[in-house]
Amino acid sequence: MVETNTAAPPVHPPPALHPPVAGGGPIHPPLEQLHHLHFCIHSNPSWPEAIMLGFQHYVVMLGTTVMLATVLVPQMGGHHGDKARAIQTMLFMSGVNTLLQTFIGTRLPTVMSPSFAFVIPVMSIIRDFSLRPFDDEHERFVHSMRAIQGALIISSCLNIIIGYSKAWGNYSRFFSPVVIVPVVCVVGLGQFERGFPQIGKCVEIGLPMLILLVIIQQYVKNIHERTHLMLERFALLLCIVVMWSFAGILTVGGAYNNVPQKTKIHCRTDHSYLMSSAPWIKIPYPFQWGAPIFSASHVFGMMGATLVAAVESTGTYYAAARLAGATPPPAHVLSRSIGLQGVGMLLEGIFGAAAGSTASVENAGLLGLTRVGSRRVVQISTSFMIFFSIFGKFGAFFASIPFPIFAAIYCVLFGIVAAVGISFIQFSNSNSMRNLYIIGLSLFLGISVPQYFNEFTASSGHGPVKTNAGWFNEILNTVFSSSPTVAMVVGTVLDNTLEIMNTDSDRGLAWWVPFQNRKGDVRNEEFYSFPIKINEIIPTRYL
């Protein structure tokens, strides 16, 4: 479908209310698509606005990329230059994978970015090489990256197989709105450690950023009609500039000269040392760290992370679809997207990324914050990812934004995604104790079980699962450290085994099932069809 309109569609009026019932107020009917979006998946703002919105998506995903590299690269033995190259590679692959997903994957406006799900298997690789003798730390870093390359290349086959064999789509047919509520909720809520705990590490920057963003984006925008749309869409960039400048003034003024090193890392704008170490021009290329190193134990551990990335992406796709004005993605779309995600991980392994990718939760939340769900905007954002990954000095400039500023943004964006998950309950019977039991237990275990695994790992240096089979330990410790994965497993099992007789209506299956079939709803083709007749090139059975 060719998208040509560049003007904003008319704003839909609020849906009509059902007449009041005896003893109660008006009833709001369920809405399959949100009516307060300025632009949906296939409508587009003007080109200047689209470019600015695309840049905003780039800035939001940059925080996760820099944070992940800052956590992993020093522990591998890498120096500042190595960290700069690792960030450039992950940015480059994020741009490539986002383009692939928006054109021939889900077709949803989702950004693909590095995933924290890969921290556990990567840390296992780091520990393995830390026990081996090397001439210097840089050599240890290179060997660690080569081992990550090999593990990503082999483990990517898991997602390719479960995707293109349609196994993932068939599994998704066991979902219902009752399952989707906790899964999407914990996709946002499960990221709580990247929110206020990070703000607290530099509260004089993070907390004002959070308060300023809420006030400007939600309150100040209503002061004048002319500023309403501008502040609603670009308040995030405005607040970043203000607080980034404030942090720069504090840094230059010497406010952080005599503070602990941990405070300097989180508060100073020159904490990353990327401006001095990043190359002016550097194009990531295949096997840039050397030939991959293949190890069975590393591969099995990485497979757990690739499975978790598939689960997290699935939850994010449902949230993004709703925030972009699309219908829930059908089973065949989920299959091809997870298969393509596996292809993306294969490319990441070939190019030497430090971690695999998943659909970005924060960028999905940004769709709701700006009320712009345009696919074109996200596609434009990939040009910034690729450009700044090649011209390293420019990318390093934006990487100097302190982490607490990103954390303040995440508090809002993750919260929006969690709230979108709650909205799916309207399509099921929210007065059914069966449904409330499943949703409540899935939500609680989805947050509580990973918290136990993470606390155990932090205190003991290894996960709760510790047997003689290291690969088995890595898989289970990775899977059960993921909130969406635990919520999806618990919710799917309970919803398909607990009082399933004569509960289709309560579960919302009458509304849900048509969207899961390729031609079950006429809008499926509108939202998820390819931009060209690709089925003439690739047989439909693989799509």
If phi over 0 gives left and psi between -120 and 50 gives alpha, with beta otherwise, what is residue 419?
Answer: alpha
pLDDT band at 541 (very low <50, low <70, confident <90, very high): low
**Phi and psi at residue 519, to the nearest 5°:** -115, 25
Rg (CA), the chain: 23
Rounded-to-integer distance, Cα 106 and Cα 527, Å? 9
Q: pTM surpassing 0.85? A: yes
Summarised one tens digit per residue, pLDDT across range 396-409 is 888 889 999 999 99
Q: How many CB atoms lie within 10 A of CB 515?
A: 18
- The pLDDT of 303-331, averaged and rounded, is 95
441 pLDDT higher than 90: yes
DSSP state of 112: E
pLDDT tens readout for residues 359-371: 999 999 999 999 9
Rounded to an integer, the average pLDDT of 245-259 is 90
Distance, C-alpha 42 to centroid of its chain: 21
Nearest by Cα to 320 from 114, 110, 38:
110
